[in-house]
Structure formats: C-alpha cells, structure tokens
Amino acid sequence: MVLNPVISKLSGKLVVLASSSPRRLEILTNAGLRFEVVPSWFKETLNKSLFKAPHQYAVETAMQKALEVARRMPFKHLKTPDIVIGADTIVTIDGLILEKPVDKQDAYRMLSRLSGKEHSVCTGVAIVLCHQQENEEIDYQTIDFYEETKVKFADLSETMLWDYIDSGEPMDKAGGYGIQALGGMLVEYIHGDFLNVVGFPLNHFCKQLDLIFNQEPISNDVKRKDGQSAPDDNTLSKCSEGQKNVLAVASAVPPVTSRGPMNLPYVIENVHTDDLKRIIELMDGFKASKALFTASKMRVFDLLQKRPGLDGAEVARALEASLKGTVCLLEACVSLGLLERKQGANQEGVYENTRLAQRFLMSDSPSSLLGYMEHCDELVWNLFSHLESSVREGTNQHAKVSGQTTTPTTTTTNDLFQDILYSRDAQKLRFMKAMHSIAGVAGPAVIAAFDLSRFKTACDLGGCTGSMAHGLAKAYPGLSVTVFDLPSVVELSGAFCPPGLDNRVSFVAGDFFKDQLPKADLYILARILHDWTDEKVHVLLSNISDACAPGCGLLVSEIFLDRDGRGPSRGLLQALSMSEGKQRSAGEYTALLEGHGFTVTHIAHTDTLLDVLLCIKDGPVA
C-alpha cells in the first residue's frame, strides 16, 4: 500500500489526531501525514460488560475520543477540523481487557497473566469527517474499524518481570508492555501487524483512506471489518438535531488555510490535558465516593433490582425524596457506571442497575459490599475528614471523631478496636458487617491462591463472622476450622453463620495476644498484622510459632506494597488512617515471618482486595 496518493488528497486539509500518544504520533509522522495533535477529553469510563466482544469496546472508545475533539474544536479552538482520527489500543486475554496499569503492582498482575500465553492486541480506530455547512452548522460522518494481532509471551521469571517493571516502561502502555522497546524481549512471536501492537494499525488505516479518497464516494455499501454496514444514518452525529443528515463527500470538504507549520505536526497547548484530567479526577474523587455511599444507604440499587425501569419521579416517590435531588443522584450514578438510563415507553428516561451494581451493591448479593460501604461512610469518612490533624500529629483521630477524651483500658486492642468491639451492639454489628462483606469478596481469591488440601485443621485468628472459615470449609470438605476472636465478637457471630457447615466451623472466644491458641495444622491471619505495632506483631507471631509444630502452615493475607514501597495506592491510602501498625511489602512480611521460624513457600498477588502468602514452620516434620 503506497500512501502518497492518499497524502496528496489530504493536502490543505486540517487533519487532527485525537491522541497524545507519542507512538501514534511517530507512526503517522513517519508515514508522511501532516496533522495537529488535540488530545481528547473523553473519559474512558465505558462499561466493558456492555460489549459482546473486546474490540467493540476499543472501537467505541476511539469513536468517542474522535467525536469529542471534533465537536470541541469549533468552539474552544475556533476552527473546524476536516478529519479527526481517534484510536484506542487494548490487550485482551481470556476475554479480559487489560489497559494501562495504574501502578507497578498492577503491571505485575498483567504481565504475570500474559507470561507463557498467547494474547490479542486490538486497536479500534475511528475517522470523523467534518463538513461545515453554509449556516455554520456541522455534519459529522464517522467510519470505524479495528485490527487484531496475536502475540505470544515467553515464560517470564520473577527477576525478568520485576527488572522490566522497574525500568518504568510498562506504566503508560496497554497490557503493561511496549513491543517496540524493552518489552520486545518478552515476546516469543506475533501473528499480524507489528505496528498495531505498537499502537496504530498503519496498513489498515491506509486502506481506509484509499477507500475514502481514491475509490468511490462513501456509501452504505462500505463494510466494516466486523461485518456491519457503515456508515448509515444511525452512525452520523451532528450539532443540530433539527438538521437533516447529509453524507459529506470527503473531496468536497473545504480546505483550512489557517493553521500551524506544515513541516511538522502542530501540537496545541493542550498537550498536558491528560494530566489535567487526572488531577480533576482526584479532586472530585470524594464526590464520587459520597454519591456511591448515599445511593447505597438509600437502597437505590435494591429498589431498581426489584422494580427495574422506574423513572426519576417513581424512584423519588419510593425513596420519599425530592424529585430534583433524586434525579441528580441517579444521573451521577449513571456517570459512574452504576446505573443505566434507557428510554421508557412514555419517552421518559428510566433507570436500571448495571452489572457492577448487581454484583456488589445489592443487599442479597453474595459479593455485596454494602456492609463495608456503611462502615466507610459512617466511620472512615469522618476519620479522613481529620486527615490534616492525623498527618501533623501522626496519630489516629478516632477519639476526636467519636468525641471521646479517654479510651477504655479493658482490652489489649488499639483505641479504634477498643471503641468498636466494646461499644453498643449496633456499632459493633456495623463493624462486623463491614468485615464480613470484605471477607466475602476477597476471601475466595485468598482461599483459591494455593492448594491447602494437606491441612486437616485450621484456626482463623481474628476471623470475626467466620466468612473466611465457612469459605475454607466449603472449598475443602476434609477441613475443620476454628474461628478465634474476642468474646464480644463471638457472641454476635451467630447472626452471620450460614447453615450446613456448623459441624466443621466452630467459634472459640479469646485474646490472641494473651490466651493459648487452639491447636491447628494451619493458622490464618487475614487483614490482621497491618493494624498493630511491631511489638504486638512480634507477640502474636511468637504465640503462633509456639503453637505450631514443624510443618504447620501460616496463611497471611494483606495488601502487599511494592518492593520500593510506592504502591499500590490502596495500601498507601489505608496507611493514612494512622493506625498503630503499618503496611508492608511481601519481602518485609517474609523477613518478619522468617524471624519467627517460618519459611515462605508461596506468594500470590490476587486481582481482588488482598494478596496472600503461605509459610511453613521450620524444623523436622514428625
């Protein structure tokens, strides 16, 4: 495919790339295309579950990027582009979409998943042709396609993975690697377009330009790669709803003569738009959290599960809330991907839960997080409202939040747990519901991380409601599990026990810092160690070590920080609560456990809330 005939057709036209990707810029520049760069402001928050195939998600994201720039430029930049190009590259494996990693640990999860396996790289491309009419209204004609390339990774060692991650290269690349640079050492083979893996399918793009400018005028007979007709009236978007859809023949688009230098792509002043978007997202993050907490507390999602397709007025009546406030809350939830708005029979917008809401925000869902959200809303939110004081003083602000000037001394727990676990039952139950919901969501990945079938008895220390214990008993029919927790917790645990497993799950009251621990082959510490001072951690691990015979196991589940302590952000944000304890990396936990006679045999970074490691007590096994 020779691009020169196409380039000549584009001469004198304002071509815009709706992306700040340096790789796409380089590919198109090397092909001889002259263009401006206007990064899109479109937030890439499309609900992936709504797309039947991953490439459809990439194509739609590319289209929204291009349309956002095409619509913005006449008003913000006072010029109308002739052609806007949008693109989005994703990596997929086993139907899962991998985009850019958010931190090193996320990059590790992605690359570990790709190790030794074949995956797909899909780039969706959208071309928007803009035609300015005499009345200054604009018609937009859209063409889209996608390219897929198969890539096979070699089996990657831990050392190679971390060396590559520490290079910094994975952080701005879909799937966590760049095939054109150091990431090429990970690749065993590819089938398809190499430049597609880099970020833009140049060959397919040239064929589309040839079809547009050197062949017949665009008609409804043009076929997309996915087999759908393109473009028809339904693919056209325009500024004025009252204006008739008109297919703009590309050759008839008037040239734009006022623009930047044509010898190089002209990068406009918005080159740092992605940085601005990120800052604004961080600034507005608390608003999204409060909207989620409020909708959950008002049981919006339960209501729409029982009665899907209600309009705003019907939801307001059911919630006994104002119409204005209810609609604002519903629309905010739509923007967050928690609700969908559809057109009802009476032309009014009606609302339904998304899959995300159905899975995590329903009271009766096995993966419901409502208990933890209530805890965050009622307690954690207030703690973090005093974050400046926490930072200045280096102390937890629970006493200030609760209005207490002194704290109880009837137990060995820290102030936060003293107040909660020796408070009235309502507050205690709220805390237990939070721990129960977290264990219900994170527990399955922890339980499935390693083969635990060789253990016959287990003891879950600080196991709260027994959610983890019941999950273990269900996964391993030959395993009996004891939950060891404070008397005030054990007395309320019956409200959370599922039927059918009680004969293999038992509860024992005690204090794991002072009392003798029940005998077991496997001990479990899930979300325990990070809460306590080094002194108390050593006391607890000494107690476990004394109770363990050689060959016994200890399963530790926490958020593991990266080796350099710079992530994941969830662990570092949790540390801001200023509890007595601290967050640690897997290496730090390993050193801690080795000091108490354990050898770490397995470490797993799960895709859920918690990571996990398994260690074995040293010494000859009887």
CA distance 603 to 116: 19
Q: Taking 70 as the threshold, does the pLDDT of residue 175 lie above it? A: yes
Q: Which residue has the higher pLDDT, 276 or 297?
A: 297
Task: Determine if the peptide bond prior to 568 is cis (ω within 30°).
Answer: yes
Among 100-114, 409-423, 536-550, the minimum mean pLDDT is found in 409-423
Cα-only R_g, the chain: 29
420-461, pLDDT tens digit by residue?
Answer: 554 556 778 888 888 998 888 889 999 999 999 999 999 999
Q: Taking 90 as the threshold, does the pLDDT of residue 248 lie above it? A: no
pLDDT at site 235: 35
CA distance 598 to 592: 9
pLDDT at site 229: 38
Q: Taking 70 as the threshold, does the pLDDT of residue 249 lie above it? A: no
12-57, pLDDT tens digit by residue?
Answer: 789 999 998 888 999 988 888 888 999 998 887 788 888 889 999 9
511-570, pLDDT tens digit by residue?
Answer: 999 999 999 999 999 999 998 999 999 999 999 999 999 999 999 999 999 877 777 888
Q: Which residue has the higher pLDDT, 213 or 583?
A: 583
Going by pLDDT thresholds of 50, 70 and 90, the confidence category of residue 274 is low
342-394, pLDDT tens digit by residue?
Answer: 887 666 789 999 999 999 999 988 889 999 999 899 888 988 888 888 888 88
CB contact burial 349-383 (16+ within 10 A = b; e otherwise): ebbbbbebbbbbbbeebeebbbbbbbbbbebbeeb
Among the listed residues 131, 71, 128, 86, the one whose alpha carbon sits nearest the alpha carbon of residue 256 = 131
DSSP string for residues in 418-471: HHHHTS-HHHHHHHHHHHHHHHHHHHHHHHHSS--TT--EEEEET-TTSHHHHH
pLDDT at site 2: 47
Q: Which residue has the higher pLDDT, 285 or 398?
A: 285
Q: Which residue has the higher pLDDT, 207 or 135?
A: 207
The angle, 0 to 180 degrees and rounded to 10, between the axes of the packed helices 323-335 and 273-297 is 130
The tokens of 537 are what? 């951690």
Going by pLDDT thresholds of 50, 70 and 90, the confidence category of residue 584 is very high
pLDDT at site 347: 62
Q: Do 273 and 37 form a contact (C-beta atoms < 8 A)? A: no
Mean pLDDT of all residues belonging to the chain: 82
Q: Taking 70 as the threshold, does the pLDDT of residue 325 lie above it? A: yes
Going by pLDDT thresholds of 50, 70 and 90, the confidence category of residue 75 is confident
Q: Which residue has the higher pLDDT, 375 or 265?
A: 375
pLDDT at site 477: 92
pLDDT at site 132: 79
Residue ranges of alpha helices (H) inside 310-386 are 312-319, 323-335, 355-360, 370-375, 381-384
- Indicate the SS3 state at residue 219: coil
CA distance 398 to 381: 11
pLDDT at site 346: 64
Going by pLDDT thresholds of 50, 70 and 90, the confidence category of residue 467 is very high
| Positions marked active-site | 88
Going by pLDDT thresholds of 50, 70 and 90, the confidence category of residue 622 is low
With tokens 């729409």, the residue in question is 304
Domains of the chain: 4-234+257-267 (3.90.950.10), 276-360 (1.10.10.10), 427-617 (3.40.50.150)
> Once rounded to an integer, what is the mean pLDDT over residues 287-303?
95
pTM above 0.75, yes or no: no
With tokens 């590309």, the residue in question is 250
pLDDT above 90 covers a percentage of the chain that reads 45
Pairing of strands 310-311, 349-353: antiparallel
Among the listed residues 64, 173, 54, the one whose alpha carbon sits nearest the alpha carbon of residue 110 = 173
pLDDT at site 470: 92
- Indicate the SS3 state at residue 146: strand
